[in-house]
Structure 1
Amino acid sequence: MSLRLAPAVLICCALALSVLVAGCDRAPASSDYFPLASGQHWTYTETTERDNGQRSQRSLRLDNLGQDRLDDEPAWHRYSDDGMHYWLRSDDSGTYRVASRFELDEFYTPDATRHYVLKQPLSVGTSWQADTAPYLLERAQQFPPEIRHSHPAVPMVYRIEATDEAVDTGAGRFEHCLRVQGVASLHLYVDAASGWKDLPLITREWYCPGVGLVRLSREEHTASSFVTGGTLTLDLQSWP
């Protein structure tokens, strides 16, 4: 989940087709690994561990709300209970987000280009680029402290690193999963002693056939007391 997190984010995400489709000799669709069908939902435990020792945990639920019409074309609507709405489409090129809206906004914001969640072919080495934001980095003496407000669009390169991994989660063990890694670098003035630094933003996401996203980890670390980061994880607890 190329993460807008909501981690990302969120995260973020959704498409429907079961892996148990007749004609299993076909190449797997990205929608097999990112179900969007109406009525499906996922509950995760979201854990944040900050570099300053603070730790928090909460439950996060994602719901597929069915199809809407965006620009006279169908798009799958997904809602996260942190207040974010997303619209996605899927075709032979992959599954991609086309618009988003925060709950308090009046209108949705269309993506200027396709914001891929998973890109075809679903094989090791497939890569793509999408914007992300720093979800964990905060300045100690600034309001608002979140750096994502000043750096909302950081280019991240995603790559499929594995296609047959097993993942243990709170919802059970899943097999034959894709592992996607995203890597970005944020050039940021950290403090007077450190000056400008290239801070790594690293995302790892596991997508399993017929289920979707089962685990996500996001790492944003610094060695400064003026800018703090940390690690965020999502772990699937129940579905559908």
Structure 2
Amino acid sequence: MKEEIIEYYNNELTFKALVLRHRPFWQRTILIVVLLSIDVSFITFAITNSPYFLACGIAFAMLIVRLSLYFNARIIKKIYPDIYISTFKWSSIKFRKMTNEKLKTRLIQIGVEHNQVKQISELVKLKADNERIPYIVYATTLGLLFTPIWYSFIDKTFDTYKNDLLYLSLALGFATFMVVIISILIPMFIEIRDSIFTRYNSLNKLGELLDDLFIEWECTAVASDSCRGATPPKFCE
């Protein structure tokens, strides 16, 4: 039963399953083209030291973030209109609530009682702990690959533009911007990690959803007692 719930979550309830897999081919193609444009711009900048290619790289990086948000919002507007807010936004609270409801419905369908949910949650978290080492290996490898590249970029930038305040300011601004971009793209790396290397993050998220459902069902179970004067648990307040 535990593996059935994990499989259902991974195939039906992750953001990738609910939104990203609905991206049409043309949207995927556009994002790939923009990503390649970023690579070409930065490689050309490294070769020519031309600030114009640096500016192009920054522009394409900004574009891919906005396009990703825009495409995701379009899909959400079409499939989950109640969650949609605006061109680039959707309600994360409503999205989580929808995920909870879908999981709750599935658990009822396979005959899971509310008093079993906590036990299943503990088993899922235990399985997550068993996958902690692959998670650490992935994170460490990613850091080891990224750090030398980042150091080389900063060192080359300072060496090239140390006598030009304008270009140095632009390069420092770009470095700061890239930190923001990387933080935004972290979910994409998480999806790659969970799909190929380890399910540590997705298992923990599933455990949190199961905990939420357990609390919800416990509060529902004591509601009638509360009406008769019994004091409900603090987590139901």
Q: Which structure is higher in helix share? A: 2
TM-score where L is the length of structure 1: 0.27
